[in-house]
Amino acid sequence: MLQKTSDFTHINLDALVESKVPILSGRGSENNEEILRIISLNGSMLKYDIQKHIPTVIYSTISRRVDDLTRREYLGESGRRRTERGRQSEESMYGLTWKGFIASITIKEVRKNFLEVLKKNPLLAFPEKESILTILEELVTKQELETISMTILEAFLKTIPNLDLVENELMSIFAWMLSIREKIELPKGFKLSRMPKDIWELLKILDKPAILQAVKRNIIPLIVGKTKEIKTMYQLLSVLSVVGEYISGLEVENQPSKKIREFIETKLESNLLELKKQDIWREE
């Protein structure tokens, strides 16, 4: 619910981050922030790769910071890759988790590249991610995304006890987001400049090659699949409903099993043939 507006007088974000994001305050916080920034903008990396981006910090320090961020679920292992140094063994790669994503968007450079961060970090997964991000890129500018993410971030941080205590699952983050929807206040007069004004204008986004390809590749097959599922479920429930009504009129002396079999074979033959085609009803 992003309809509310205000004068956009933010409280001091630094103070809020310091009180609600423990990994970004106190000892090691500068290295933690830099590690989150680097992984956010570049995607999953080896510890060695991270250290190459921060040559002023020794490898052992980077390794300890990454291990601590992983233990606290801000980072997670997202694969393995053979190193180009030493014995050239396979080592773990580290990417942002959802907790890490929330912590990282406290960094302005990350907020400005909001969608790229979601694209490049494989642990930030959600249904139809590619299609949704493709459409958002066309409908929302970077500046608008930064404004929205800043507003949501502040409301989120005001609400949670601290980020360490938030579970690291998308559903947990989403549940917190639902709880803050009334607290989200966008700047006065804010609106999405590219947002379609009606259904016909919305359809025009299909003129963009990337959008059309995403819709054809991901969204249409999803709709077709769900439609088939609903149709099959309807047919099955229809059969069960008719059988149920018939059973309601039977008594033990009617030999129910025999009567039901006769009823199914004579009255529901066409329905069952359709269900057999869809592998829903099997005869033993």
DSSP structure string for 5-50: EE------HHHHHHHH-GGGSSTTHHHHHHHHHHHHHH-SB-HHHH
pLDDT in tens, 209-245: 877 887 787 778 877 877 878 877 877 787 778 778 8
- Of 167, 74, 84, the C-alpha closest to 121 is 74
**Joined tokens for residue 105:** 């968007």
Reported pTM: 0.69
Mean pLDDT of the chain: 83
pLDDT in tens, 139-189: 888 899 888 888 889 889 988 999 999 988 888 888 888 888 777 778 888
Q: How far is C-alpha 143 from the chain's CA centre?
A: 21
In DSSP terms, which residues pair with 38 in a beta bridge? none
- Does residue 69 have a pLDDT over 90? yes
Which class in CATH covers the domain with range 5-187?
mainly alpha
Predicted local confidence at residue 177, as pLDDT: 81
Run of H or E residues at 187: strand 186-187
Predicted local confidence at residue 86, as pLDDT: 59
User: In whole angstroms, what is the distance from residue 109 CA to residue 189 CA?
Assistant: 25
Average pLDDT over residues 63-76: 96
User: In whole angstroms, what is the distance from residue 96 CA to residue 12 CA?
Assistant: 25
Q: What percent of the chain has pLDDT over 70?
A: 88
Predicted local confidence at residue 203, as pLDDT: 75
Sign of CA dihedral 102, 105, 111, 114: negative
In terms of Cβ atoms closer than 10 Å to its own Cβ (0-12, 13-18, 19+), residue 23 is: buried
Residue type, 147: T
Q: Is 96 helix (H, G, I), strand (E, B) or coil?
A: strand
- 75-82 and 90-96 as β-strands: parallel, antiparallel, unpaired? antiparallel
Domain boundaries, the chain: 5-187, 205-277
Predicted local confidence at residue 284, as pLDDT: 47
Predicted local confidence at residue 279, as pLDDT: 59
Residue 85's pLDDT band (cuts 50, 70, 90): low
Give the residue carrying structure tokens 């607290």.
Answer: 183
Predicted local confidence at residue 3, as pLDDT: 41
- Of 178, 134, 135, the C-alpha closest to 155 is 178
User: In whole angstroms, what is the distance from residue 182 CA to residue 41 CA?
Assistant: 31
**Joined tokens for residue 132:** 């949704």
Q: Is 79 helix (H, G, I), strand (E, B) or coil?
A: strand
Residue 275's pLDDT band (cuts 50, 70, 90): low
Average pLDDT over residues 249-263: 84
- 186-187 and 90-96 as β-strands: parallel, antiparallel, unpaired? unpaired
Phi/psi at 75 (nearest 5 deg)?
A: -125, 160
- Does residue 5 have a pLDDT over 70? no
Q: Are 199 and 129 in contact (CB under 8 A)?
A: no
Residue 274's pLDDT band (cuts 50, 70, 90): low
pLDDT in tens, 104-135: 999 999 999 999 999 999 999 988 888 888 88
Predicted local confidence at residue 1, as pLDDT: 38
